[in-house]
Structure 1
Amino acid sequence: MISITEWQKIGVGITGFGIFFILFGILLYFDSVLLAFGNLLFLTGLSLIIGLRRTFSFFFQRHKLKGTSFFLGGVVIALLHWPLLGMVLEAYGFFSLFKSFFPLAFGFLGNASNIPFLSALFRSLQGTSSMV
C-alpha cells in the first residue's frame, strides 16, 4: 500500500483548488485574477505532491524545455493580465509537456470500457453514430 504524507494530501487539495479556479476563470470569460490564482495554486500543489526537486527535474529536462518555456511563459503572461494569450501558451506547453502521458491515459480509458456502466455508454454512443 502506498503511504501518502500529510503534505501530499494538502498538495492534492491545493491542486484541486487550482484546477477549479482555472476552470472558473475560463468560464468567466478569461478572468485574469482567477486564472493567475489558479495557476499559482496548481503549481504550488504539484510541488507539494511530488516534491520540489522532482518538480524542478520534471519541468527542466532537456527534451521538455520547449514545453516548459511555453507553459511557464503562459503563466507569466496570464499574471500580466493577458489571460487569453497566456492560456493559449499554457495549453500548448501543457500538451507538449505531457504528450508522452497521453497514450497511457487513453490506454486506461480503453480499459475503462470493461466497466459495465461505461461499456453500455460506449456501445450506445457507437450505435447513435452509425445511425447518422
Structure 2
Amino acid sequence: MFEITDTQKIGVGLAGFGITFLFLGVLLLFDKGLLAIGNLLFISGLGCVIGPLRTLNFFFQRHKLKGSAAFLGGIFVVLLGWPLVGMIIETYGFVILFSGFLPVAINFLRRVPILGTFLNMPGISRVLDMLAGDTNRTTV
C-alpha cells in the first residue's frame, strides 16, 4: 500500500468542495460566485493531491496545451463575470484534457451494476461507443 500525506488529504477535501461548488453554481443557474469559488478550490485541490510540479507538468504538456488554454481560459472568463460562456469554454478544455482517460472511464462505468444496465441501452450505448472510440484497446 502507499501512504497518503496530510497535504493529499487536504487536497481531496478541497477538490471535493470545488466540485460541490461547481455543481451548485450550475444548479443555481450559473451563479458566478459559486462557479469561481468552485474553480479555485478544484485547481488548488488538484495541486495538493498530485503536487504543484506534477500539476504544472500535466497542464503544460505539448499535446495538451490547447485543452489547458481552453480550461484555464474558461476559468478566467468565469472570474471576469461571464459564467455561461466560461463554463462552455471550460467544458471544452476539460474534454480535450481528459479525452485519453474517457474510454477507460466509460468502460468502467459500464461494469457498474445498475448504471451499466442504463449505459448499455441501445441509443445510449451507440453514443458512448462514439465517445469511447475503439473499445478493444481499453479492455482490461
| TM-score interval (norm. to shorter) | 0.7 to 0.9
Look up the match of 1:34.
34
Determine which of 117, 121, 131 is the counterpart of 1:122: 117
For residues 122 and 84 of structure 1, what CA distance do their matches in structure 2 show?
Answer: 33
For residues 8 and 14 of structure 1, what CA distance do their matches in structure 2 show?
Answer: 10
Could you say which structure has the larger radius of gyration?
1
Look up the match of 1:68.
68
Q: Provide the TM-score with structure 1 as the length reference.
A: 0.86
Report deviation, 1:110: 3.2
Look up the match of 1:58.
58
Deviation per CA, 1:83-108, whole angstroms, max 9, x where unpaired?
00000000000000000001111221
CA-atom RMSD, angstroms? Answer: 2.0
Q: Quick check: 102-111 or 83-92, which moved more? A: 102-111
Matching residue's letter, 2:73: G
Gaps of 5+ in 1: none
Identity, % of aligned positions: 54
Look up the match of 1:9.
9
Look up the match of 1:43.
43
SS in 1 for 2:111: helix
Which runs of structure 1 show a deviation greater than 4 angstroms over 4 or more consecutive aligned residues?
A: none
Look up the match of 1:101.
101
Q: Provide the TM-score with structure 2 as the length reference.
A: 0.81
For residues 101 and 76 of structure 1, what CA distance do their matches in structure 2 show?
Answer: 25
For residues 92 and 7 of structure 2, what CA distance do their matches in structure 1 show?
Answer: 29
Report deviation, 1:17: 0.3
Matched pairs, number: 122
Report deviation, 1:112: 2.7
Look up the match of 1:87.
87
Native 8 Å contact 2:60 2:68 kept in 1: yes
Look up the match of 1:78.
78
